[in-house]
Amino acid sequence: MEFKTPAQQDGFKKVRGWMDELFSQIPWEVLDEPGVGLFMGSAWVEVRLYPWNEDSVINIRSTVVSEAKLDATLQNFLLRENAELRFGAFSLNEAGDILFEHTIVGSTCDPQELEASVMAVLQAADDYDDQIVSRWGGKRALDKSP
C-alpha cells in the first residue's frame, strides 16, 4: 500500500487499529489503496484516507445504486432527503452512480466519530438502495458482479 503523506499513513494506521474493536460483527477488509471496505445488508462502504494539506481526511462512501433512471423526480428525491439527513449526503459521480458519503478530519477523529460516520453511511445506503431501485431501477452493491 502506498501513502502520499505521513498524515495519510498515520490516519490509516489509526483507522485500521480501530476496525476490530468497532466493527467485529461486520465483515470488513483492507483495500489496495489506503482504506477498508465493509458490507452490511446490501450495502458496501469504503472508508478511504486522503491527504489534505498537512492533515488527512477520512471519506466514508457507498455507491448506493448504479444504473438507475436519473430523472428529475429521482434528483428531487435525493436533494430533499439530503436536507433531512444528519450525517452525509447523496451525490452523483461521473458514471451516474448514486453515492452517499460523509467526510471527517483524520487528525481529530476518534473511535466514536468514526463509528458514527461509518454506521450512518452503511445504514443510509442499506435503507435507500431498495427504495431507489424499486422506484427508479438500477443495481444495489449486492446485485453487482464482483
- For the chain, what are the domain ranges? 6-143
CA nearest neighbour of 8 among 16, 122, 102: 16
For residue 144, pLDDT over 80 is answered with no
Cα separation of 127 and 42, whole Å? 9
Mean pLDDT of 75-95: 96
Q: Which residues contact 137 (CB under 8 A, 6 or more apart)?
A: 67, 68, 69
Q: Please tell me the class of the 6-143 domain.
A: alpha beta
CA nearest neighbour of 124 among 30, 60, 33: 60
Cβ atoms of residues 60 and 121 within 8 Å: yes
What are the pLDDT digits (tens) for 6-47? 999 999 999 999 998 999 998 899 999 999 999 988 899 999
Cβ atoms of residues 14 and 85 within 8 Å: no
Cβ atoms of residues 48 and 34 within 8 Å: yes
Cα separation of 5 and 102, whole Å? 21
Cα 14 from chain centre: 18
Please state whether beta strands 43-52 and 55-65 pair in parallel, antiparallel, or not at all (unpaired).
antiparallel
What are the pLDDT digits (tens) for 102-126? 999 999 999 999 999 999 999 999 9
Cβ atoms of residues 38 and 27 within 8 Å: yes
Grid coordinates belonging to 20: 476490530
